[in-house]
Amino acid sequence: MTDLADLTISEASRGLDDGRFSARELLEAVLRRATVTEAQLHGYLTIDREGAFAAADAADRRRAAGGRRGPLDGIPIALKDNLCTRGVETTCASQILAGYVPPYDATVVARLREAGAVAVGKTNLDEFAMGSSTENSAYGPTRNPWDPERVPGGSSGGSAAVVAVGSAFAALGSDTGGSIRQPAALCGIVGMKPTYGLVSRYGLVAFASSLDQIGPLARTVEDAATVLAAVAGWDPHDATSHPEEPPAFHRSLERGVEGLRIGVVAELMGAGIDPEVLAETRAAVDRLAAAGAEVVEVGLPSVDYALSAYYLIAPAECSSNLARFDGVRYGLRVEGGTAEEMMARTRAEGFGAEVIRRILLGTYALSAGYYEAFYGQAQKVRTLIRRDFAAAYETVDVLVSPTSPTTAFRLGERASDPLAMYYSDVCTIPSNLAGDPAISVPIGLDSRGLPIGLQIMAPALGEEVLFQVAAEVERGAGFAARPRLASSEVMEP
Ligand code: GLN
């Protein structure tokens, strides 16, 4: 019999509806899986057993009384540890927030709870979501479930790893420059960044507010759509959230791609991209053409400057957002003679090296005399990138590229070279700068047995066509491989 932890959300939800098993049994299966995998994986920072069992039992009682809330009722889901959870420690994988217990739930967390989902726990990340490998966590790295010597990607590496091994059915992550899509690609699962404003950011600890979006990581495209549907939509607590009804992305999955025009981004299909990644990308594009799509090559000339613009805008916003962590209100406080000394010591001891690097870069880029040359210039580049995308979407419905230039790299390999690390997001950052939705879908393995993801991008609020194409990519790839850490040899010692 298949282990319950290996079911998709739609299978698990049907099983619950048919009374084949209970939400408590689903949760037990997921926690059993975590017991086996966590010692090596370290995907979770906190597992909230008590809260999770209470939620699972409540879901079982609702179903018994005929009051099921929807497809997520009773489904165990993990939350990135930069999402505020009432009564459950929220650290952002930083020392500076050690011991911080939020008095409120992020809107996405509240919506998942209303949908009946069972919050299993909080997943590991790069400190304050700054990184591409989860090595910047103050609590130690997460490992890649396909090869524990390698990174799971980041910053939502914990979320991606636990979904890949089955210690959660899905997870929420945040994506500022690729932090959902890149770890999804490196762990062989689906990861989706919605249109900026589709999902409320209220209760997401801010990194770069004009780029941050919350989105789902799941094992199938359909499951990702199910989770997104539960959390999307206007929220009075987030002034940047869209007031319109969310797009009907859940209904486009079976439509196929006949008649759609798909653009392959020329700038992301050459130098700097691993040949095996390129070959699998081309094969996936060929399958889309065989399924009836018209495939053309499209140029986005400004994306060559996306990385440079991002590494001015994101640090500038982070230097402002992280000013609130001063030892006065939250988490760590290192005492000093004066208030100023206390704040300086708290920040010096509480933040890790990468976070300090970003604050310094951002403060510099915003300082008088340099503001126009750095931050102002980067904003102009951002406008050019938006225009490139807008022009492309006049001729194509969606764009595709690799999600990550390489498959999972070794722990430590890029840790001492920030630029090599930053390059990990070269394909994903443009969509954040444009504010557009994008998704990564697993399409195959490289010769080392490591997963490769295809990125699909769509215009703002184009989630319907995005999921339509993603579902076809998934059907075409027939990706069924499972990571080593979730296989039966590890499961049954
Ligand atoms: N890796 C990128 C960075 O470090 C993106 C991170 C993210 O999306 N949160 O800024």
The residue type found at 160 is A
Please give the distance, rounded to the nearest whole angstrom, from the Cα atom of residue 183 to the centre of ligand 1: 11
CB contact set of 290 (below 8 Å; sequence gap of 6+) = 476
pLDDT of residue 484: 85
In the chain, the domains with their CATH numbers are: 4-301+386-491 (3.90.1300.10)
Q: Cβ of 275: how many Cβ atoms within 10 Å?
A: 8
Please give the distance, rounded to the nearest whole angstrom, from the Cα atom of residue 359 to the centre of ligand 1: 14
Please give the distance, rounded to the nearest whole angstrom, from the Cα atom of residue 161 to the centre of ligand 1: 17
Q: Which residues pair with 298 in a beta bridge?
A: 265
Task: Check: CB of residue 84 under 8 Å from CB of residue 206.
Answer: no
Please give the distance, rounded to the nearest whole angstrom, from the Cα atom of residue 189 to the centre of ligand 1: 18
Rounded Cα distance between 446 and 437, Å, is 26
CB contact set of 475 (below 8 Å; sequence gap of 6+) = none
Closest CA to 296 of 417, 402, 397, 173: 397
In short, whether 428's Cβ falls inside 6 Å of ligand 1 is: no
Task: Check: CB of residue 12 under 8 Å from CB of residue 169.
Answer: yes
Task: Check: CB of residue 204 under 8 Å from CB of residue 82.
Answer: yes
Q: What does the DSSP 8-state code read for residue 347?
A: H
In short, whether 179's Cβ falls inside 6 Å of ligand 1 is: yes
Question: Hey, whose CA ends up nearest to atom 10 of ligand 1?
Answer: 130
Catalytic residue of the set 80, 156, 401, 431: 80
In short, whether 425's Cβ falls inside 6 Å of ligand 1 is: yes
Ranges under pLDDT 70 in the chain? 1, 487-493
Pick the atom of ligand 1 nearest to 176's CA: 8
pLDDT of residue 485: 85
Residue in the structure block whose two tokens are 């700038």: 267
Closest CA to 190 of 471, 485, 488: 471
Rounded Cα distance between 223 and 23, Å, is 17
Supply 241's token pair.
């959230």
Please give the distance, rounded to the nearest whole angstrom, from the Cα atom of residue 148 to the centre of ligand 1: 22
Rounded Cα distance between 5 and 417, Å, is 38
Q: How far apart are the first and last CA of the chain?
A: 17
Closest CA to 273 of 94, 407, 102, 114: 407
Rounded Cα distance between 18 and 20, Å, is 5
Please give the distance, rounded to the nearest whole angstrom, from the Cα atom of residue 209 to the centre of ligand 1: 12
In short, whether 91's Cβ falls inside 6 Å of ligand 1 is: no
Chain centroid, CA 482 distance in Å: 20
Share of the chain above pLDDT 90, in %: 94
Mark 82-120 as b/e (b = at least 16 C-beta within 10 Å): bbbbbebbbbbbbbbbbebebeebbbbbbbbbebbbbbb
Pick the atom of ligand 1 nearest to 180's CA: 8
Question: Hey, whose CA ends up nearest to atom 5 of ligand 1?
Answer: 177
In short, whether 131's Cβ falls inside 6 Å of ligand 1 is: yes
Q: What does the DSSP 8-state code read for residue 6?
A: G
pLDDT of residue 379: 97
Rounded Cα distance between 112 and 4, Å, is 21
Task: Check: CB of residue 98 under 8 Å from CB of residue 256.
Answer: no
In short, whether 354's Cβ falls inside 6 Å of ligand 1 is: no
Please give the distance, rounded to the nearest whole angstrom, from the Cα atom of residue 155 to the centre of ligand 1: 6
Pick the atom of ligand 1 nearest to 156's CA: 9
Give the pairing type, strands 118-123 and 76-80: parallel
Give the pairing type, strands 118-123 and 44-47: antiparallel
In short, whether 132's Cβ falls inside 6 Å of ligand 1 is: yes
241: annotated active-site residue: no
pLDDT of residue 490: 53
Catalytic residue of the set 13, 155, 174, 319: 155
In short, whether 157's Cβ falls inside 6 Å of ligand 1 is: no
pLDDT of residue 492: 44
Rounded Cα distance between 433 and 447, Å, is 33
Please give the distance, rounded to the nearest whole angstrom, from the Cα atom of residue 293 to the centre of ligand 1: 32
In the three-class reduction of DSSP (H, G, I as helix; E, B as strand; rest coil), residue 337 is classed as: coil
Catalytic residue of the set 13, 159, 167, 179: 179
122: annotated active-site residue: no
Pocket test for ligand 1, best of 209, 406, 425 (most atoms within 8 A of CB): 425
pLDDT of residue 486: 82
In short, whether 178's Cβ falls inside 6 Å of ligand 1 is: yes
Residues in the chain: 493
252: annotated active-site residue: no
Closest CA to 161 of 23, 38, 289, 333: 38
Residue 177 main-chain phi, psi, to 5 deg: -145, 10
For all residues of the chain together, what is the average pLDDT?
Answer: 96
Task: Check: CB of residue 479 under 8 Å from CB of residue 442.
Answer: yes
In short, whether 155's Cβ falls inside 6 Å of ligand 1 is: yes
Closest CA to 404 of 111, 152, 30, 141: 152
Helical spans, DSSP H, in 98-216: 107-114, 157-165, 181-187
In short, whether 302's Cβ falls inside 6 Å of ligand 1 is: no
CB contact set of 26 (below 8 Å; sequence gap of 6+) = 4, 12, 16, 56, 74, 75, 76, 118, 169
